[in-house]
Amino acid sequence: MNIPARWLSLVCLVLTACSGALVPPTLAPPPLSSLQLNPSPLELTSDAPAAAITAQGDAAGVAYTPHADSSCASASGSISVAGDGVAQTDVAGAPLLFVAVATGTPPASCSITVSGSDGSTATIPVTYTAITPDTTAMNALKVRSAALTMGSVAPAAITIDSPTDVVKVTVSGFSGATSSKVSCNTSKGIGVSVFPASFTTTGSLTIAPYGQGALSGNCTVSLSDSTGTTTLSVTLSAPALNKLTVVPATVQFSCVGSAPQTCSTGSVAIAEQGAAKFRINDHPSLINSCANVFNGSLKMHDGNGTYASYVAGPQSNVSFYGLLLASSPNCTKIFIGDGGAQTVVVRVDPTVAIGGSPAQAASCTGPDPLVPVPNAPHGLYVWNPYHVQGNYESMIENYVLGHGAKPIDPNICGVSLVIRWSDVEPQKGKFQWDIITSEATPYVNAGLRVNLLFADASEVESAGSVTDAATPQWVFNDGVGVISCPGQVQYPNWLDPTFEADYEAFIKAAVAEFKTGSGFQYASNIGYIRFGIGAGVESYPGHIEGPNTMPQPCLKAWKQANPAFSYDAWLNHSLNIVRFIAQQQTDKQLMISLNYVSTYDSSNPNDAYTYANAVAAVAAPNGIAMGTQNLGISAGGTPVAGANAVPTSCDPTKQYVNIYWCQAYRRHLGVVPFEFQPIVSPLAPGSYDVTIAHLFEYGLDNNAQIFEIYPQDWVYNDDPAAFPGFTGATQAQYNAAFSAASLVLGRNH
């Protein structure tokens, strides 16, 4: 197994104590001295075919002229810039802004150049990618549609009320080749451009404005074919945008310590009047971006102990902060966005200076400023050591908890116990919580946290068994139906109102039992409580076949059940449970899992994110944390945590069912904590390509603050004699990976 060099260099860190917030060194990056276009590169896609180009280093009163290179056009489409060839005078306080538009199927890459009347010039590379549509509006500048029928009908009219208001107009009723011409009653340098300039019979036109500052006046778009001319009236009524500025334009990281070394830049001032938030853009395809080359996402530090990927506007002084896994950052740019149309690129000096204070890991139980939700649970936990195949509990106690030959592992924050509903409520209303007390005791005695993961139904059982050992028998005695699928566990019919009522009663009792002050012996040690929705401790209706799998015996059984299965019915059940969990009063963090759930209907396929997004949209605003159990699964067939992978943030524009959590995790970042459990242990990877180092790195890049790690991985990390036949990562590499992750997520002190 080939572990990349930046992880091979990790060693167990001996951290020196430091008090208060990290104070980054004072540096003096070179001032901005020339015109710089942002963002660079500019990325257009079929889902987001328009984007704004802004500038730093521009001078008020100077006229700037944009021009798309000839290579931007082809017979099948083009990348164009509104106002191509039109000189636009820079307006003080407003962004120098140009709108780029992709139409048809343009070339994959080309360039746009802006030239100033003062002799300055800058060129920006532009890329185009055809992708499956994304429903998340991750790109702030979208194209709105106006379904207008042209031709011989009366003239139509549209209004553009923002400098970035791009309108796609559907046209029809023309005869043969049709060309467009624009005339405007506006101030000099203000108008609209039409793309493409010509079309045949029917199609769509994109109308994009150009000009600096406030845009006002009227334009007429004339569309002429062999029979005559039809006009489209465009009213410009757009107030000026406020300019986003970032000063200085170049930063340098100063680092200290051994890998992962603590790195900070000098102070950077970000400002835009009226802006609510500034954030580091971490789209995974941004070329030469520094967002994901650190141990976890690059963060901003506001000097008040807050580390985050975003800070509040309209102005803020920040430093950029991260734990670097290599000797120097393998990146050259930091992309700062305002949540709207503007992005500023901050250049990064690749030379690392020496200075600052080494990082000190937060405690497992106190606030952790390096995670997205500092006051919520965080850390590395051992998952289900009593019940995972092989039963590693005794080895965990001897080698990880310090009950035997070795001291306690400083990286472990506690345990996540999977508890079957049937074990603690064998009779309706009669609870036996002693099993939890017994299993929690070794961890409580070690001063660690205990998380409870309640399963309402089984996902898998022992070989040859189809018994649902997690759902109490009395639930079936209440009349809840059984769903029998070949080769699978017998599921209860979760859609039955009786099942919902029984399970909700259990949820209420469990939450009440473990809140602080309830009388439960270890209540103060409970970290978070997760409730499964469906099979196991996840949120899906079991292993039902997909729409293209024949003969679909399991799906058939579900659809013949009473109540019958449908995607809408399953979603409704899921949201009922989430809403009920949200009603419970407790001081503990409550959590559910996210999953991919198909519509199971080939005529109405679900996209990769619909179910997870719908569940998260209810859970997050109610403070319910979210987790997923597939960390490290490939995305689109590409390993994300393999030996040769380069971990990064997930791409929410890709329709990959294996990253069903991606859009939800990005939408609700900083609202509730996120959890990850690896899909497999790297000690027994099966068909998966994963390494422990890259599992941690990929999870941190995607803003996880809780990891549930298989017990055998903890054992290998601490037991020198464990798994002698394992030829993958060495124990030193395991130690380095655990140590690096816990430096961000917290340690037991």
pLDDT tens digits along 645-683:
989 999 888 888 899 999 999 999 999 999 999 999 999
Let me know: does 393 contact 711? Beta carbons within 8 Å. yes
Closest by alpha carbon to 545, among 470, 486, 629? 486
Mean pLDDT of the chain: 87
Dist CA 22 CA 24 (whole Å): 6
With beta carbons less than 8 A apart as the criterion, state whether 562 and 485 touch: no
Residue predicted with more confidence, 6 or 653: 653
Q: Which of 628, 432, 437 is nearest to 530 (CA)?
A: 628
pLDDT of residue 449: 97
The confidence score (pLDDT) of residue 749 equals 84
Q: How confident is the model at residue 169 (pLDDT cuts 50, 70, 90)?
A: confident
Residues with Cβ within 8 Å of residue 608, at least 6 apart in sequence: 596, 654, 655, 656, 657, 659, 660
23 φ, ψ to 5°? -105, 110
Name the residue among 61, 189, 38, 59 with its Cα closest to residue 123.
38
Question: Residues 545-572: what's their mean pLDDT?
Answer: 82
More confident residue, 667 or 284: 667
| Confidence label for 495 from pLDDT (cuts 50, 70 and 90) | very high
Hey, how many other C-beta atoms are within 10 angstroms of the C-beta on 445? 11
Least confident of 46-55, 149-158, 301-310, 689-698: 149-158
Q: Buried b vs exposed e over 262-284: b needs ≥16 C-beta within 10 Å?
A: bbbbbbbebbbeebeebbbbbbb
Q: Which pLDDT belongs to residue 31?
A: 41
Of 142-156, 303-317, 491-505, 543-557, where does mean pLDDT reach its minimum? Answer: 142-156
Q: 685: pLDDT confidence band, cut at 50, 70 and 90?
A: very high
121-129/109-116 β-pairing: antiparallel
**Is 146 a residue whose pLDDT tops 80?**
no
Closest CA to 302 of 283, 326, 277, 324: 277
The 3-state DSSP class for residue 439 equals: helix
Q: With contact defined as beta carbons under 8 Å apart, do 255 and 331 qualify?
A: no
Place of tokens 């997205």: 372
Contact between 542 and 461 under an 8 Å Cβ cutoff? The reply is: no
Strands in 130-176 per DSSP E? 143-146, 156-160, 166-171
Nearest to 382 by CA among 354, 353, 350, 415: 415
Residue 286 has pLDDT above 80, yes or no: yes
Task: Output 468 or 97, whichever has higher pLDDT.
Answer: 97
User: Does the pLDDT value for residue 531 go beyond 80?
Assistant: yes
Calpha distance 342→746 (Å, rounded): 35
Q: What is the 3-state secondary structure (H, E, C) of 486-553?
A: CCCCCEECCCCHHHHHHHHHHHHHHHHHHCCCCCCCCHHHEEEEEECEECECCEECCCCCCCCCCCCH
Long-range own/partner contacts, residues 192-198 (CB < 8 A, 24 or more apart): 192/82, 192/160, 192/219, 192/221, 192/234, 192/236, 193/80, 193/81, 193/82, 193/83, 193/84, 193/101, 194/221, 195/78, 195/80, 195/101, 195/103, 196/77, 196/78, 196/103, 196/104
Query: How many Å is the maximal CA-CA distance in the chain?
Result: 92
Residue 393 has pLDDT above 80, yes or no: yes
Residue 495 CB partners (closer than 8 Å, separation 6+): 561, 563, 564, 565, 569, 570, 573
pLDDT over threshold 60, residue 227: yes
Q: Please report, for residues 110, 449, 696, 736, the alpha-carbon distance to residue 640 in angstroms, rounded to integers and kept in the order given.
A: 29, 30, 11, 20
Q: Locate tokens 């005339």: which residue?
A: 183
Give the dihedral sign, CA 506/512/518/523. positive
- Which helix (H) or strand (E) segment holds residue 290: the answer is none
Query: Mean pLDDT across the stretch 73-89?
Result: 94
DSSP letter at 376 equals S
Give the least confident one: 149-163, 394-408, 623-637.
Answer: 149-163
- In this model, does residue 413 exceed pLDDT 90? yes
Of 549-553, 614-618, 677-681, where does mean pLDDT reach its minimum? 549-553
At 279, list the tokens: 């954030």
**Angle ∠(458,632,589) on CA atoms, nearest 5:** 60
CA 80 to CA 543: how far, in whole Å? 48
| Confidence bin at 287 (pLDDT 50/70/90) | confident
- Predicted pLDDT at 459: 81
| For residue 524, pLDDT beyond 50 | yes
Mean pLDDT, residues 609-629 taken together: 96
Contact between 230 and 152 (Cβ < 8 Å):
yes
Query: Span 307-324, mean pLDDT?
Result: 93
Average pLDDT over residues 140-149: 54
Residue 708: both structure tokens together: 């549930």
Range name among 201-215, 332-346, 374-388 with the lowest pLDDT average: 201-215
- Cα(658)–Cα(609) distance, rounded to whole angstroms? 10
3-state secondary structure 188-221: CCCEEEEECCEEECCEEEEEEEECCCCEEEEEEE
Taken in order of first residue, the domains within the chain and their CATH numbers are 5-29+244-354 (2.60.40), 142-243 (2.60.40.2310), 379-463+494-745 (3.20.20.80)
With residue 444 as reference, give the H or E element that holds it: helix 434-445
Separation CA 51–CA 61 (nearest Å): 24
Residue 481 pLDDT > 60: yes
- Give the C-alpha separation, 256 to 249, whole Å: 23
User: pLDDT at position 322, please?
Assistant: 93
β-bridge mates for residue 111, sequence order: 125
The residues near 481 (Cβ < 8 Å, ≥ 6 apart) are 492, 493, 496, 561, 562
For 554, the enclosing helix (H) or strand (E) is helix 553-559
Tokens 């609870």, located at residue:
431
Q: How many angstroms separate the Cα of 740 from the Cα of each of 14, 172, 735?
A: 12, 60, 9
Question: C-alpha 590: how far from its chain's center?
Answer: 21
